[in-house]
Amino acid sequence: MRLILLSLLLTTLSTAFAQEYGFPYGKPLITELTMTTYEKDTSASAVVLNEFGNAYINSENFQLVFVYHVKIKILKKEGLSKADISIPLGKSSTGKREEVKDIKASTFNIENNQIVETVLDTRKIFTENVNKFWDVRKFALPNVRVGSVIEIVYTLESPFIDNFRKWEFQADIPKVQSEYWALIPGIYVYNIALKGFLKLSKNESKIVSQCITMGSGYSPTTSADCAQYKFAMKNIPAFIEEDYLTAKSNYLAAVNFELSEVRHFTGRIDKITKEWKDAEQELKKEQQFGGQLKRGKDIGQKINDAIAGINDPKEKALKIYNFIKTWYTWNKTYGFYSEFGIKKAFDRKTGNIGDINLSLIAALNFGGISAEPMLLSTRRNGLPTELYPVLTEFDYVVARISIENQTYLLDATDPYLMFGMLPEKCINGKGRVFTEKGSFWEEIKPNNKFKKVTMLNLSLEHDGSFKGTIEHTHFGYRSVEQRKLIETFNTTDEYIAELKKKLPSTDIVKYEITGVEDRESRITEKFEVIIEGFDDLNTNQLLLNPFLFTDKIASNPFKSKERLYPVDFGVPLERTMTLTLTVPNEFELIGKPESSVQTLPNSGGKFLFDITTRGDQLIINYVLTIDKTVFHQQEYHYLRELFSRIIQIQQADMVFSRK
C-alpha cells in the first residue's frame, strides 16, 4: 500500500510539474483547429496559441541551453509565412558557434472529421551561411493551409554565455500566452530589464540550490546555487509598426539580460559591465578611436589651405566642416571606430562613419577649434542604456563643438547637410560626449525644421483655366531633401520636365529656382503656370478643391485607435500654404470648408485653416505646425484627431454659384 501511495504521489507531482513546465507537444485542441478568427484581434492573420522558452547553463559543457516551443494557428492566407522557420545561429572568428538540435515540427489539420498530423521531414532542414558572424537554420512546415495549427520545438546550444537569451513577448501577430524561464547560476550576475508597456501576468523568482557544478579542480567549492526567473504574459496584442516610430526594440515587450560580472569559484570577480570612467579610458587607448583623434597633422596641410587667412572661429569651423564633408564619400558602413585609420581613409577619400567624423574632429582640433566626439545610437538601432556603458549599443559618432556659448553637432558623412545639422536618423534620445576630463550625456535636439511655405496667386480665366504663379520655399530639412531631389537630374530642365510629367494638367510657362548650390541656403522655386480647370464655365455651379494646386495628406498616418508607444517625429514640422484666388465677378462663393483652429496640448503644435474674401479675391490660409517632436501615448488621440480633421478639410470643395 505504501508503494502504491508513493507511486501515486510521484505521478501527481510529475503531472503537476509537467503542467507548469511549458505545454504538451502534439495535442492541439479541436477548438483550436476549428477557430476561424481570433476574437481579440479579428484582423490577425495568425495567432500564437502558446509559447514557452527555457534557458539554463549546462553543467557538463558549460553551454547556454535554450529550449523553445511554440504553437501557432494560421487564420488567413497572409499568415502562411509563419510556417517558414528561420533560426539564427551565431558564430565567431575563433571557431565558436551555436548549434540547434532536436528539431521537431508538425502541422495539424482536420480531415474527414479527424485530426491529421503531418510531421516535418528532418532531411529538408538546411543551413544557410549568411556571413562570418551568422548562419541560419531553415525549414518549412509541410501541408500548411489556412486553418492549420503548426507546432515547433527545438533546443539551441550556445558557447556565448555572456549573451544570455533575451525573450520577446510581443511579435507582429498576437499571442494568447507567452512564458519564459531563466535559470542563472549565482556565479553570473546579470542586469535584467523588462522593456515595453505591457504588464506581466507572472513574475516569479526563487533560489535553486546547487544547480550547477564545475567538476574537478575547483575544490572545495564545486557547485553554485541558481536564481530561477519565470516571466509570462497573456493576451498580448500584435506590435503594429506605424509612422513616426524609432526602433521597435525600444518599445517591444521583452526581457533583456546584460552580463554584469562573473564571480569565479576561486573568489576572483570579473566586472563585465564597466563604469563610465572605464569606458572613457578604453576609448582613449583604443587605436581606432582615441588614437585617431590625434592624427590631425596627417591631413594638416589640406586643413591649413582650407582656413588660410580666416580668424573668425565659426567661419573657420564652417570651412573645415565643408572641406571634410566634400572630401569624403561615405561607404554606407556604420560604426564609431575608424575602419581604415584617418590617413588611409583620407588618401582613399572614403570610409565609414568613424573614419569620416573622427577625421572631422581631428581636423577641427588641428585648426584650433576644440572638438569632442559624441557617441550616439541611430533611430533604427534603438536607444542606448544610460545607467551603465554598453558601447556595443552605439553605432555612430559625430563632432561636438562650442563657439560663443553655442553648441553645434556636426556630421560630415552627408554632403547635403547644413552646418550644425544632424541627419534625422541621428536624432534619437541622448548622445554620450567624451572629453579629456570625462564624459556626460547630452540630449540630441534638431536645430532646424522640416519646413515648406507655398504661395499661390491664381485667377480663374473665362476659358476655365487658372493662370498665375506658384512659389515654393523649402527650409531646413525640407531644403536638404529637395536639394537631393533636384541634383539627381543632370540639369534643371530635366528636373522641370519630370515635374511636368507628375502634373499633367499644368503647363509651366516660366520657372526660376534659386539656392540649390548653396548648402546653407533655403531653396526657392517660382513657377508661372497655366492649369487646366473647368471645361465649361456656363454651368450654374462650380466645385473647386482649394488643395488642387498643392500636396495633400493622402491618409491619416495614425490609424490605430490606441498606441502603446510614443510618436516621434524626429524634427519639428511646418507646412504653410496661402492661396490668393481671383474669381470672375459673375460667380459668388456659396459653400466652403469650415474654418478650423486646433491646438495640440503642451504646446505640441497647431492647425489653422480659413477662407476670407476681399473683393473678387479669396484668400485661403492653411498652416500646420508640429513643434514638439515626441508625443506620449496619452497624447496620441489628439494627434489622430488633428490629422483626421486636416484630411476632412482637404477633401472638401468650395462651391461657386453663378449670380
Half-sphere exposure of 581 (CA within 13 A, CB side): 27
What pLDDT does residue 215 have? 54
**pLDDT for 217:** 46
Which tens digit of pLDDT belongs to each residue from 150-208?
Answer: 999 999 999 988 788 899 999 999 999 999 999 998 888 888 888 888 999 999 999 99
Contact 272, 259 (CB under 8 A): yes
Tallying the residues shown for the chain, one arrives at: 659
DSSP 91: B
- Report how far residue 531's alpha carbon sits from residue 132's, in angstroms, rounded to the nearest whole number: 58
CA atoms within 13 A on the CB side of 205: 7
Asked which of 271-275, 450-454, 633-637 is least confident by mean pLDDT, the reply is: 271-275
How far apart CA 481 and CA 20 sit, in angstroms, is: 56
Q: Check whether 537 has a pLDDT greater than 60.
A: yes
Give the Cβ contact number of residue 612 at 10 Å: 10
pLDDT of residue 328: 96
Q: What three-state secondary structure class fits 500?
A: helix
Compute the distance between CA of residue 535 and CA of residue 537 in angstroms, rounded to an integer: 7
Tens digits of residue pLDDT in 199-218: 999 999 999 988 877 654 44
Gyration radius from the chain CA atoms: 32
| 132 DSSP 8-state letter | S
pLDDT band at 541 (very low <50, low <70, confident <90, very high): confident
- Does the pLDDT of residue 3 top 90, yes or no? no
Band of residue 258 on the pLDDT scale cut at 50, 70, 90: confident
Return the closest-CA partner of residue 238 out of 338, 171, 178, 285.
Answer: 171
Q: What is the mean pLDDT of residues 633-645?
A: 94
pLDDT (0 to 100) of residue 188: 85
CA atoms within 13 A on the CB side of 120: 24
Whether 164 and 226 have beta carbons less than 8 Å apart is answered as: no
In terms of phi and psi (left: phi > 0; alpha: psi -120 to 50; beta: otherwise), the region of 392 is alpha
Instruction: Encode pLDDT of 10-40 as tens digits.
Output: 333 344 444 478 999 999 999 999 999 999 9
Confidence (pLDDT) at 1: 36
Q: Measured between alpha carbons, how far is residue 583 from residues 99, 227, 508 in Å?
A: 75, 79, 21
- In this prediction, residue 197 carries a pLDDT of 87
Helix, strand, or coil (residue 19): helix
Euclidean distance between CA atoms 309 and 315, whole angstroms: 11
pLDDT band at 259 (very low <50, low <70, confident <90, very high): confident
Per-residue pLDDT for 221 more than 60? no
Query: For 425-450, what is the mean pLDDT?
Result: 95
CATH number for domain 2-270, candidates 2.60.40.3140, 3.30.1060.10, 2.40.30.10, 3.30.360.10: 2.60.40.3140
Q: Extract the C-alpha cell encoding 601.
A: 496640448
Contact assessment for residue 290 and residue 283, using Cβ atoms and an 8 Å cutoff:
yes
| CATH architecture assigned to 450-658 | Sandwich (2.60)
320 neighbors 367 (Cβ within 8 angstroms): yes
Q: Is the pTM of this model over 0.85?
A: no
316 versus 57: the higher-pLDDT residue is: 316
Helix, strand or coil, per DSSP, at residue 549: coil
**pLDDT score recorded for residue 214:** 64
> Domains of the chain: which residue ranges?
2-270, 276-443, 450-658
Give the separation between CA 65 and CA 54, rounded to whole angstroms: 8
- 93 vs 397, higher pLDDT: 397
Predicted local distance difference test score (pLDDT) of residue 263: 82
The pairs formed by 122-130 with CB atoms below 8 angstroms and a separation of 24 or more are 127/89
pLDDT at 551 over 60: yes
d(Cα 439, Cα 428) in Å, to the nearest integer? 18
| Whole-number Å distance between alpha carbons of 330 and 22 | 49
pLDDT at 623: 97
- What is the Cα–Cα distance from 431 to 392, expressed in whole angstroms? 14
**Torsion 437-443-449-450 (CA) sign:** positive
* Lowest-pLDDT range of 248-252, 317-321, 434-438, 447-451: 248-252
Q: Topology of 276-443 in CATH?
A: C8orf32 fold (3.10.620)
Residue 95, amino acid: G
Q: Is 603 left (phi over 0), alpha (psi -120 to 50) or beta?
A: left
Position with higher pLDDT, 409 vs 257: 409
pLDDT at position 612 = 93
CA of residue 637 relative to chain centroid, distance: 22
Residue located via cell numbers 479675391: 617
* CA separation, residue 57 to residues 79, 508, 586 (Å): 34, 71, 86
Q: Phi and psi dihedrals of 389, rounded to 5? A: -75, 125
Instruction: Tell me, letter by letter, the H, E, C secondary structure of 38-82.
Output: CCCCCCCCEEEEEEEEEEEECCCCCCEEEEEEEEEEECCHHHHHH
- pLDDT at residue 373, as a whole number: 98
Q: What is the mean pLDDT of the chain?
A: 90
pLDDT value for 219: 47
Answer yes or no: same fold for 2-270 and 450-658. Answer: no
Model pLDDT, residue 6: 34
Give the number of other CB atoms < 10 A from CB of residue 58: 11
pLDDT of residue 21: 87
What band does 584 get if pLDDT is binned at 50, 70 and 90? confident
Alpha carbon distance 113, 34 (integer Å): 11
CA angle 169, 170, 176 (to 5 degrees): 75
Residue range 601-623: mean pLDDT, rounded: 94
3-state SS, 444-496, equals CCCCCCEEEEEEEEEEECCCCCEEEEEEEEEEHHHHHHHHHHHCCCCCHHHHH
pLDDT digits (tens, 9 = 90+) for 84-135: 999 999 988 788 999 999 999 999 999 999 999 999 999 999 999 988 888 9
Looking at residue 353, its pLDDT comes to 97
Percent of the chain with pLDDT over 90: 69
Q: Which residues, 6+ apart, have CB-to-CB distance to 12 below 8 Å?
A: none
Q: How far is CA 234 from CA 242, 282, 315, 409, 592, in A?
A: 23, 43, 59, 44, 50
> Is a pLDDT exceeding 90 seen at residue 77?
yes
Separation CA 573–CA 61 (nearest Å): 57
DSSP conformation class of 384: P
Q: What are the angstrom distances between the C-alpha of 201 and each of 179, 180, 235, 524?
A: 9, 12, 10, 57
